[in-house]
Amino acid sequence: MLKVDVPQILISSAAIIGILIVWYDFTVKAYDTVIDLIKGTFYDTAAERARRIKEIRRIIEEEDIN
C-alpha cells in the first residue's frame, strides 16, 4: 500500500511554487526590458529624444537651485 507523506508533499509543493514565482518574475522583467530596448531603438523619434533632454535639464536646474 502506498504511504502518503503529507508534510513532505506540502514542503515540495511550496518549494516548486516558490521557484515558479521567481521564474515568472524574472521572465516578466526580462520581457519588459526587451520591449523597452526595442522601443528605444526603433520607435524613439528625434522629438521624443529632445523632450527627454529638456526634461532632464529642467530637473538638473531645479536641483541646482535647491
6-37 confidence digits (pLDDT tens): 889 999 999 999 999 999 999 999 999 999 88
Residue 46 lies in a domain: yes
User: Looking at this protein, which amino acid is placed at residue 62?
Assistant: E
Q: Is residue 1 part of a domain?
A: no
Round to whole Å and give the CA distance between 62 and 42: 31
pTM, to two decimals: 0.53
Domain span holding position 31: 6-65
Whether 37 is in a domain gets the answer yes
Residue 34 maps to a domain:
yes
Average pLDDT over residues 25-51: 86
Say if 31 falls within a structural domain. Answer: yes
Query: Which three cell numbers mark 52?
Result: 527627454
Domain count of the chain?
Answer: 1
Domain membership of residue 14 (yes or no) is yes
Position 51 in a domain: yes
